[in-house]
Amino acid sequence: MFKSLRLKLLFYFFIINFIVLFIYGGFLYNTAKKGVLNTTDAQLKMISLDSIPDFKATIYPDAKKFADELLQEFSIEPLFLKIIYYNKDKKIIEHESISSEKMSYLFDIPLNEIGHLSSIYYFNKDIYRVSSMLIFEKDDNKIFIQLATIKEIDSPYIKQLLYSLLIATPIILIIFLFIANMLINRTLSPVKEVIESVKSISAKSLSNRVSIDNIPSEIKELVTTFNHLLNNLEDSFAKITSFSHDASHELKTPLTVIRGEIEVALKQDRSMDEYKSILRDILEESISIEKIINQLLFLSQKNTAEIKSNFLEVYLDEVVIDSVKWIDKFAKIKNIEIVIKKIIPSTIYANETLLKIAINNILKNAITHSNNDTVIEISMDESEKEYLLSIKDNGQGISDEDLPFIFERFYRADKARSRKDSGFGLGLSIVKMILDIHSYTIAIQSKKEVGTTVTLKIQKEALPLSRNI
């Protein structure tokens, strides 16, 4: 109903206080009415007790005359009276007298002839309050006096109290709402401060954080969670910024080379061999652009759940052999020999295409950073729970400072040589991503100017029954 938390709290406060004041006002009004009624009952009892000596001295007093005397004495108006002589042996009313025949219906009440002396009972008759008291026993008779007067519940006092409640209740409610509004505003002031702090944070000030000093415990967790979200957002934003800068740099270089080659070719007429040489250079740079675009798309479009749903039975030894055959032509450019020292027939459960990409990238990386006329050795081993695939080169190696960062996107340990060797800093990050999808691990041992050994630890996972049929 209300989008504003302050208005919602005020509305609930209004409803609750209205109900409380209404109940409390009703309680006060009914208590006052009951008090006035008790006063009337006390007057009727006092008059009844005061009449006892008169009955001892008079036989069959006249009710009307007696009522007039009581009215004059106690100033209660109107006052109606009925006197009853009850024969307790015969159990009949022997004599009765009433002050007003017109009001006789008021005394149509139980007599309680077996009651004890001075026992009094009260009854309501329309707007009248009626009492009945056994005041005297004479010989075999019980003498009862019954009195009736108007209930004072509609007295000026009660009316004044009702009017006061009707006027005071809205005023008190308004005062309460005013006080509640101030308290709610003060209570919500930390929320406003948090909102102002959040508004001050933008893409240029992601390092800013919302202070948790003097923050109520009820919203402290929310602020802490928001600050944690900002930490993640800042980290992601930094990665995206770095990604865009490095990607633009990687794409700009081959495009610049292509443009330069074309400009040189167009400056003057050249021989067929020169045009072919220029076209080959352009082709190589185009291939470089295609590679980096494909790798960027692969990294951005990965869907782990979808990839895992397509896992099939794969022969690991055949994947390794196919990868060696595919990369062998690239190795021959540097006169590098790839030797499989040991191979083990092995069946695993994986995505064959992704696994080939991972092994190809490791082999390509080994060739890229190996010296000419060297050997790359591949061997397989196994333990009780996993296969171990090792790829060892005799190349430049990786320093201890660079080793922790080699799986980060666009990271290149030797930035001066990476462009020359066609390295984009993406190969090992793709390898790590593929291995994480398969829950495989990778270990790298390297020594600068000596070589690097990469070991893949591949779990021996049980295949689903449907795959073994």
Are 364 and 289 contained in the same domain?
no
Are 296 and 316 contained in the same domain?
no
Are 382 and 237 contained in the same domain?
no
Residue 82 lies in a domain: yes
**Hey, how many other C-beta atoms are within 10 angstroms of the C-beta on 452?**
24
Are 235 and 338 contained in the same domain?
no
Pairing of strands 451-459, 386-393: antiparallel
Are 317 and 258 contained in the same domain?
no
Residue 53 lies in a domain: yes
Residue 93 lies in a domain: yes
pLDDT of residue 297: 62
H or E segment at 367? helix 352-368
Residue that is last in its domain, among 270, 300, 330: 300
Residue 126 lies in a domain: yes
Q: Residue 376 class from Cβ within 10 Å (0-12 exposed, 13-18 middle, 19+ buried)?
A: buried
pLDDT of residue 10: 84
Domain residue limits at 137: 5-157
H or E segment at 453? strand 451-459
Residue that is last in its domain, among 111, 131, 157: 157
Q: Residue 19 class from Cβ within 10 Å (0-12 exposed, 13-18 middle, 19+ buried)?
A: exposed
Residue 24 lies in a domain: yes
Are 279 and 344 contained in the same domain?
no
pLDDT of residue 306: 66
Are 293 and 356 contained in the same domain?
no
What is the DSSP secondary-structure string of 17-75? HHHHHHHHHHHHHHHHHHHHHHHHHHHHHHHHHHTHHHHHH-SS--HHHHHHHHHHHH-
Residue 172 lies in a domain: no
Task: Return d(Cα 451, Cα 443) in angstroms, integer.
Answer: 14
Residue that is last in its domain, among 300, 327, 342: 300
Are 435 and 339 contained in the same domain?
yes
Averaged pLDDT, groups of 10, the chain, 469 residues long: 75 88 87 84 87 71 82 83 87 88 90 80 90 84 89 71 84 88 81 77 72 76 82 72 58 74 84 85 78 61 66 91 86 90 91 85 88 93 92 87 76 50 61 87 89 92 46
pLDDT of residue 123: 93
Are 325 and 462 contained in the same domain?
yes
Are 281 and 372 contained in the same domain?
no
Contact 416, 353 (CB under 8 A): no
Residue 366 lies in a domain: yes
> What CATH number is given to the structural domain containing 44?
3.30.450
Burial string for 281-312 (b: 16+ CB within 10 Å, else e) reads: bbeebeebeebbeebbeeeeeeeeeebeeebe
Are 139 and 278 contained in the same domain?
no
Q: How far apart are the first and last CA of the chain?
A: 61
pLDDT of residue 250: 55
Task: Return d(Cα 154, Cα 74) in angstroms, integer.
Answer: 20
Q: How many domains would you assign to the chain?
A: 3
Residue 195 lies in a domain: no
Are 10 and 146 contained in the same domain?
yes
> What CATH number is given to the structural domain containing 356?
3.30.565.10
